Amino acid sequence: MSETEGQAELLAIDAEYLWHPWSPSRVSPDTLVAVSGKGCEVTDADGRTYLDAKSSGFNATLGYACGPVVDAISAQVAKLMTYDMGEGANIPAIRLAQRIGELAGPALTRTFFCNSGSEAMEAAIRIARFYQAVLGSPDRGLIVSLHNGYHGATMAGAATAGAPSPISDDLTPSGFITVPGPEEGIGALKGFLADHGKRTAAVLVEPVQSRGAYVMPEDYLRGVRELCDEHGILLVLDEVTTGFGRTGRMFGYQHAGVQPDILATSKGLAAGYISLGAVTTTQHVFEVFDSNKKMAGFVHGHTHSGHATACAAGLAVIDHIEREQLLANVQARGEQLLATLEPLRELDCVTDIRGRGLMIAVEMDRSRRAAHVRKLMRDNGVLVRRTVKNVVLAPPLILTAEQADRISRELLDAARKAALVEF
């Protein structure tokens, strides 16, 4: 890249050649072309620096250019970038699986590596179905997810969301259903499982739903656990966004003291430095596979499962979270943000403020108003995500008190301005 190319020149090339995820095929002229980053800040191709209150895609949990992670990656890639886990193993994958087992244990011990959150959920769903089949119920494959959930963009992930699609229903994967979540109480899931529990392989839940920081109440999560136990259903916790510190605990489920049978993680695991995903199961789930003599274990995997450099990044990320005591920082900064955003409740157009740790949403009456807030904040140098009617904050876990204050100030200011606009 020529150093003289600015946003406009780069976006002209982008418009001709790139196909962006989650967006219309034509790139918007206000797209931020990021060039460099340091800590919680990212700089665009015109040299403008922003405070990134959305951690890139909720994944840059340690911010940009985190020295120990960069060093771990450089050292590993120079020594052995990776080695195939199908017929072999490598040290970072062995060590990271051990580390996750220690953190998520005592029940969750076995880790299967993949490359993204979608792949982790895909593997979790296949594990759940294989598990029920090995136990004698090959038809027991229904996957139940909750309204407002998001579990990825593969065929199975997209099916869990029931997203609108122009494709005929006959061509979409079957065996997926969404039911109301805590907004209707545990009764909705209970009623569904009373009728369909025997056909259900797994229930998928995010401890905090990433679409709008909807926090699962602790008694609701405990209720889901009880229902799963009662019906022989596996509880899959999708911690792709919440895992590795975002809620102020290493894993979101630790707030409720509820252990899943299968835990899916990704974004915070390698903190955006390299693609990495993980599925961690109980020893029991693993042993059911192991006991099946007709099948060679879990017939599933990826070329880059257990990629050595990605796993070395994961180890450095966990070390950094612990060494810098980032979980305590997340709790403190999260409480600070929620407290300083409280005056927003005076605005009629703000319908809710919710969240846990550094995963917070301000819900507006209209999605266009939320989009306007996002734009005003960006104009003032603070990046947030807009999801439907929500302005979502998910800053890096290293956020300082001053940076948290700046986010609140800009959000208050933008929401007050947006409140005056007719949509």
Q: Which is nearer to ligand PLP, 22 or 291 (CB)?
A: 22
The reply to whether 121 sits near ligand PLP by the rule CB under 6 A is yes
Binding mask 134-153 for ligand PLP (x = CB under 6 A): ----------------xxxx
Contact between 55 and ligand PLP per CB under 6 A: no
Q: Nearest Cα to 323, choosing from 68, 75, 105? A: 68
Only segment of 11-19, 92-100, 112-120, 160-168 that touches ligand PLP (CB under 6 A): 112-120
Whichever of 121 and 215 has its CB closer to ligand PLP, that residue is 121
Q: What is the DSSP letter of 232?
A: T
What is the footprint of ligand PLP within residues 320-379 (CB under 6 A)?
A: none
Which position among 117, 223, 272, 314 is part of the footprint of ligand PLP (CB under 6 A)? 117
Question: Toward ligand PLP, which CB reaches closer, 240 or 404?
Answer: 240
Closest residue to ligand PLP, judged by C-beta, is 117
Token pair 């990134």: residue: 52
CA distance 101 to 283: 10
Contacts of 181 (CB under 8 A, 6+ apart): 146, 147, 148, 149, 188, 189, 205, 209, 214, 216, 220
CB of 235 to ligand PLP, least distance (A): 15
Answer yes or no whether residue 238 interacts with ligand PLP by CB under 6 A.
yes
**Nearest residue (CB) to ligand PLP, 131 versus 214:** 214
| Gyration radius of the chain's alpha carbons | 22
Binding mask 186-225 for ligand PLP (x = CB under 6 A): --------------------x---x---------------
Distance of CA 23 to the CA centre of its chain: 19
On the 0-12 / 13-18 / 19+ scale of CB atoms within 10 A, 202 is buried
Residues for the chain: how many in total? 423
- Say if CB 196 and CB 164 are below 8 A apart: no
> Checking DSSP bridges between strand 359-364 and strand 390-393, what pairing results, if any?
antiparallel
Segment near ligand PLP (CB under 6 A), from 111-119, 132-140, 247-255, 314-322? 111-119
Element (H, E) at 282: strand 277-282
Q: With respect to ligand PLP, which residue has the nearer C-beta, 161 or 404?
A: 161
Q: Look at the block and give the residue holding tokens 């959000």.
A: 411
Residue 197 or 396 with smaller CB distance to ligand PLP: 396
Shorter beta-carbon distance to ligand PLP: residue 50 or 214: 214
At its nearest, how many Å lie between ligand PLP and the CB of residue 379? 26
Residue given tokens 């966004």 in the structure block: 241
Q: Crossing angle of helices 67-79/308-323, nearest 10°? A: 150
> To the nearest whole angstrom, how small is the minimum distance from the Cβ of residue 214 to ligand PLP?
11
Selected from 240, 258, 310, 414, the binder of ligand PLP by CB under 6 A is 240
Half-sphere exposure of 398 (CA within 13 A, CB side): 23
* Span interacting with ligand PLP, options 233-241, 312-320, 326-334, 406-414, rule CB under 6 A: 233-241
Is 142 in contact with 196 (CB distance < 8 Å)? yes
Cα-based distances in Å from 69 to 62, 276, 279: 9, 14, 22
C-beta closer to ligand PLP: residue 140 or 267:
267
Helix, strand and coil in the chain, % to nearest 5: 45, 20, 40
Provide the mask over 257-276, with x wherever binding to ligand PLP is found by CB under 6 A and - wherever it is not. Answer: ---------x----------
Q: Which residues bind ligand PLP (CB under 6 A)?
A: 116-118, 121, 150-153, 206, 210, 238, 240-241, 266
